[in-house]
């Protein structure tokens, strides 16, 4: 009986040792698999974790891209290439010297347009460059709100351009009507806030037709200044809103127009380019890739106005 018990104990000890050894081997294999997973091998456990991590990163990035930077006219990600409008205006007017890397700001007036604006956005996305859109309040509605949000999501800036774009109302006899400008300025802001929320604040304004075109704007300028809003014109153009006798009718003519305005520009180091997306101006969208390459080939960085 004692011999039998002794054999049972010995067998039990052997089984414990055997199972312990198997456990150690399993642990070692799992550890080696995990270590290789950190080095990029396609192990199942590590691969699952990598996929989860990637999905989370993409989700987080999407949330960041869609979130408006508080008190600004762009999203949080766009802060990297956003520039203060007041400074840019001083540069293009040669009121202050600019010694940095060449900068270009693609600007589009008079949108949103249901056909034109999506084309412009697609081209900008394909070429990975940002732009600033000067929006008319009268063009913002339930139909166009998704494009408005897309502009922010894809890293562009939204600026103010009034409501009516009616020169007779804004500048009767070529002279500024400050009360009308004020009404349109307020209405423009309110409509954008209705669709984008109170976090959205644009401090960038462009007078319809440009500041350079009208008289008696001093009081309107003071009005904007009291609201911490800066107006800005441009120092380069593709000519898509020029008088008909001067307006380009082919892509080559449009590029020639841009090059001529570039050569005579007040400041070639800082370019603010005027274009339009308010009408179905297909020539502008067709020429846009070449406009982008024109500045890329010269080594410009692309920015937005803030």
Q: To which residue do tokens 């920015």 refer?
A: 303
8 A C-beta contact, residue 224 and residue 230: yes
**Per-residue model confidence (pLDDT) at position 152:** 96
**Per-residue model confidence (pLDDT) at position 42:** 32
Read off the DSSP letter of residue 80: G
**Per-residue model confidence (pLDDT) at position 280:** 82
Peptide bond before residue 260 is cis, with ω within 30 degrees of 0: no
State if pTM tops 0.75.
yes
**Per-residue model confidence (pLDDT) at position 113:** 97
Cα–Cα distances in angstroms (integers) from residue 63 to residues 59, 80, 128, 132, 195, in the given order = 6, 17, 19, 21, 18
The phi and psi torsions of 171 (rounded to 5 degrees) equal -135, 65
Backbone CA torsion sign across 241, 166, 117, 197:
positive
**Per-residue model confidence (pLDDT) at position 50:** 29
Q: What is the pLDDT along the chain (306 residues), one digit of tens a residue?
A: 444 444 544 544 444 444 444 444 433 433 333 332 322 233 332 333 322 223 333 333 445 445 899 999 999 999 999 999 999 999 999 999 999 999 999 999 999 999 999 999 999 999 999 999 999 999 999 999 999 999 999 999 999 999 999 999 999 999 999 999 999 999 999 999 999 999 999 999 999 999 999 999 999 999 999 999 999 999 999 999 999 999 999 999 999 999 999 999 989 999 999 999 998 889 999 999 999 999 999 999 999 999
8 A C-beta contact, residue 61 and residue 68: no
């Amino acid at each position: 009986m004692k011999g039998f018990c002794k054999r049972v104990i010995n067998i039990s000890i052997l089984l414990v040792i055997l199972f312990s050894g198997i456990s150690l081997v399993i642990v070692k294999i799992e550890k080696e698999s995990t270590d290789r997973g950190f080095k990029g091998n396609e192990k199942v456990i590590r691969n699952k974790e990598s996929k989860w991590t990637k999905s989370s990163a993409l989700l987080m990035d999407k949330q960041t891209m869609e979130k408006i930077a508080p008190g600004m006219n762009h999203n949080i990600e766009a802060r990297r290439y956003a520039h203060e409008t007041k400074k840019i205006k001083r540069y293009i007017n040669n009121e202050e010297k600019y010694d940095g890397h060449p900068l270009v700001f693609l600007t589009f007036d008079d949108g949103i347009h249901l056909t034109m604006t999506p084309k412009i956005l697609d081209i900008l996305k394909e070429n990975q460059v940002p732009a600033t859109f000067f929006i008319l309040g009268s063009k913002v509605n339930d139909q166009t709100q998704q494009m408005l949000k897309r502009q922010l999501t894809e890293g562009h800036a939204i600026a103010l351009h009034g409501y009516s774009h009616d020169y007779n109302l804004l500048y009767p006899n070529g002279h500024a009507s400050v009360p009308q400008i004020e009404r349109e300025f307020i209405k423009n802001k309110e409509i954008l806030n209705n669709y984008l929320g109170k976090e959205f604040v644009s401090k960038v304004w462009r007078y319809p037709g440009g500041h350079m075109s009208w008289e008696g704007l001093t009081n309107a300028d003071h009005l904007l200044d009291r609201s911490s809003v800066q107006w800005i014109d441009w120092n380069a153009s593709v000519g898509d809103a020029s008088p008909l006798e001067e307006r380009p009718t082919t892509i080559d003519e449009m590029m020639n127009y841009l090059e001529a305005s570039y050569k005579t520009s007040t400041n070639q180091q800082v370019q603010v380019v005027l274009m339009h997306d308010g009408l179905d101006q297909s020539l502008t969208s067709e020429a846009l890739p070449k406009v982008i390459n024109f500045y890329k080939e010269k080594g410009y960085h692309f920015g937005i106005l803030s």
